[in-house]
Amino acid sequence: MVKARADLHLHSSHSDGVYPPERLVEMAIDLGLGGIALTDHDTIVGNEELLSASAGLDIQCIPGVEISTDYEGFELHLLGYYVPENDEILEKRLVAFRGDRHSRFPKMVQKLRDMGFDIKDSDVREVLETAASPGRPHLARILIDMGVVDTIDEAFEKYLAEGKPAYVRRARPDISDGIRLLREVGAVPVLAHPLYYTGGNLRELLHILKDMGLIGVEVVYNYDRDTTLEDNIREVQRAASGLGLIETGGTDFHGDNTHNDLGSMTVPIEVIDRLREAADVVSRS
Ligand SMILES: [Zn+2]
Ligand SMILES: [Zn+2]
């Protein structure tokens, strides 16, 4: 029998993904995955749907979140595993983070309009009303529908990426606050896609974050660059060696072509047990 695998980094339509949580569960089961984690940006509203859709089915689903944080001017993403479904502290803090996304989105729209693109009010309203966490991929999809660009990548390269004309910087919480917040609610903080960090030595960063309470690091991740998955895994494992961090991984699946296909980057199902145990320890402390 083939050992079950888990994809621990998925986005739903509650943040900037395409599919609702129940559809993700169906797709994961069709692919034969043993487990998935929902890690929407700065929102946990999809987790209830995830858990009810998977109840009684042969798949383990982790309620999670992905928080954008700041470390000395660099943007680092924190995955939080086993966030509580309904937690007031977490909800309030995430709403505050999202509030910035809601005010940032119209600013980016205005920049595009100033450049001459006739973005419809109804399209903007639809995103702001339906997405808990409006982001640049939403804007990219509007530009594709308008025929301005052909792909999401092209929209980022020309207009939406940091330093491009429609980019608006977002205020981010400090990573130490993100780690503390996750631990406070009994969730396991894990550094996402660590090789995107360009601010210095990764090993030093992991040491510092571990001292702040980091519990895991995303080792299996496919970066948009000229290295193989094996190279990436080795590089992160070398930086993390001896620190005792749980090694996670996933596709960062969004449902469009910006990231990897669901189930194409996975870790052994036992990683879920380690995360569950860590969550129990955090909850008790
Ligand atoms: Zn991320
Ligand atoms: Zn992500």
Model confidence over 219-250: pLDDT tens digits? 999 997 788 999 999 999 999 999 999 999 99
- Topology classification of domain 5-92+184-284: TIM Barrel (3.20.20)
Whose atoms come closest to the Cα of 76: which ligand? 1
CA of 192 to the centre of ligand 2 (A): 8
- The answer, yes or no, to whether residue 1 has pLDDT greater than 60, is no
pLDDT of residue 99: 66
95-160 CATH fold: DNA polymerase; domain 1 (1.10.150)
Neighbours of 97 (CB within 10 A): 21
CA distance 24 to 19: 7
- Cα(107) to ligand 2 centroid in Å equals 23
Distance between Cα 43 and ligand 2 center (Å)? 12
Q: How far is the CA of 116 from the centre of ligand 2 (A)?
A: 31
Distance 242 CA to ligand 2 centre (A): 26
Mean pLDDT, residues 90-111 taken together: 82
Distance of CA 192 from the midpoint of ligand 1 (Å) = 6
Distance 174 CA to ligand 2 centre (A): 18
**Which residue spans within 84-172 are E strands per DSSP?**
none
CB 79 within 8 A of CB 50: no
Whole-angstrom Cα distance, residue 224 to residue 45?
29
Contact 41, 254 (CB under 8 A): no
Q: Name the residue ranges covered by the structural domains of the chain.
A: 5-92+184-284, 95-160
The ligand minimizing its distance to the Cα of 258 is 2
Q: What's the pLDDT score for residue 272?
A: 98
**Fold agreement between 5-92+184-284 and 95-160:** no
The phi-psi region of residue 3 (left if phi > 0; otherwise alpha if psi is between -120 and 50; otherwise beta) is: beta
- Mean pLDDT (the chain) is 93
